Structure 1
Amino acid sequence: SDAQPSVFLFPPSLDQLHKGTASIVCMLSDFYPKEASVKWKVDGVLQSSGIQQSVTEQNSKDNTYSLSSTLTIPSTEYQSHEKYSCEVTHKSLSSALVKSFNRSECQKE
């Protein structure tokens, strides 16, 4: 039977930003079947580069899959935008599931 993914979105760490890059991670867990798609949007604009995706093997206990998608961009570019979204499409979902965060709300210097 189909299982809906749990979706978590993690902003980059300040440590990482100070080093010059920003990696934003979208984690999907406990879903079935394996086919799932993740789209990244920055201020509403679809991103096509800087994305790495990896799918885990099937979990032997409950036969579900997990996936992580990472968007990596230069810190300067990260700082120049506000809204970061990961949009998940999966057979179990009637419409895309979107997780977002606003950069200004995450950044506490």
Structure 2
Amino acid sequence: MKIIQTTGCGGAVGWTTVLLSSGSGVRVPLGVPCNAAPVLTVLPPSSQEVSGKNKATLTCLANKGFPSDWKLEWTVDGRTKPGDASRGLLDKDGKYSWSSTLTLPADEWTKAGTVVCKATQGSQTPVLETMKRADCPV
């Protein structure tokens, strides 16, 4: 039997629906506010990766967001870069967590000024987390 889970907003409170492949299901209020903006953290690449593999992988962690369709985007010195994002994972508190990785050639990383991870969702105010290359030990 297949289980399908969806989330959404009704009024000011979020909900999740668990549907079975038979068509039956139940909607469960999560008690979390709709459109809760995630908290972003950008993690720098490791020095071993930059020097040994000639690349730099940055990770953006997005935690405590709702609903599950927030998107993570990257910019490097104002230029959009493609990242590899995970699907939202539902936490016990009813909010979601995601991550996105951005891999750059080492020479592009060493020349970078700022790297920004941006979370967007519909008409909500975007959430930004900026990392200055000069502040990183690598």
1:4 maps to 2:37: yes
Contact 1:55 1:65 in 2 (8 A): no
**2:81 maps to which residue?**
47
Letter of the 1:68 counterpart:
S
Identity of aligned residues (%): 27
1:56 and 1:86 map into 2 onto residues whose CA distance is 16
Measured after TM superposition, the shift of residue 57 of structure 1 is: 2.9
1:76 maps to 2:107: yes
1:4 and 1:97 map into 2 onto residues whose CA distance is 7
TM-score with structure 2 setting the length: 0.68
Structure 2 unaligned residues grouped into runs of 5+: 1-32
Matched residues, number:
104
Bigger strand share: 2
2:89 and 2:133 map into 1 onto residues whose CA distance is 32
1:102 maps to 2:132: yes
* Structure with the larger RCO, 1 or 2 (CA within 8 Å, 6+ apart): 1
**Among 1, 4, 14, which residue is 2:47 paired with?**
14
**1:34 maps to which residue?**
68
Structure 1 unaligned residues grouped into runs of 5+: none
Measured after TM superposition, the shift of residue 39 of structure 1 is: 1.3
